[in-house]
Amino acid sequence: TAAAVPVAVISGRRSGSAAGRMADRGIRHVMLGREDKDAALTELLAGPGIDAAAAACMGDDAPDLPVMRRVALPVARAHRH
């Protein structure tokens, strides 16, 4: 069997269709419309099974930087044009 990797999504955008796709994929930790992503990460870390020392974050803009600074593996995708 494949190892389960917990996934969380924190986004400043609100999208009903995105929330539905995440639910279909079994992603339990979904925080949409969150302008303060650092506060959202703090909420996630307060729950069981999520540890910043073993977490990765993929960000693509400035609001992601505080979260990226707190996780073990920050990842930034190439700038899009």
Residue recorded with tokens 């995440």? 22
pTM for this predicted structure: 0.79
CA-based nearest residue to 9, from 78, 65, 24, 18: 18
What are the pLDDT digits (tens) for 58-70? Answer: 998 888 999 999 9
- 1 pLDDT band, cuts 50/70/90, is very low
Give dist(CA 18, CA 9) in Å, integer.
Answer: 10
Output 79 or 63, whichever has higher pLDDT: 63
Q: What is the pLDDT of residue 81?
A: 58
What are the pLDDT digits (tens) for 7-55? Answer: 889 999 898 888 889 889 888 889 999 999 999 999 998 988 778 888 8
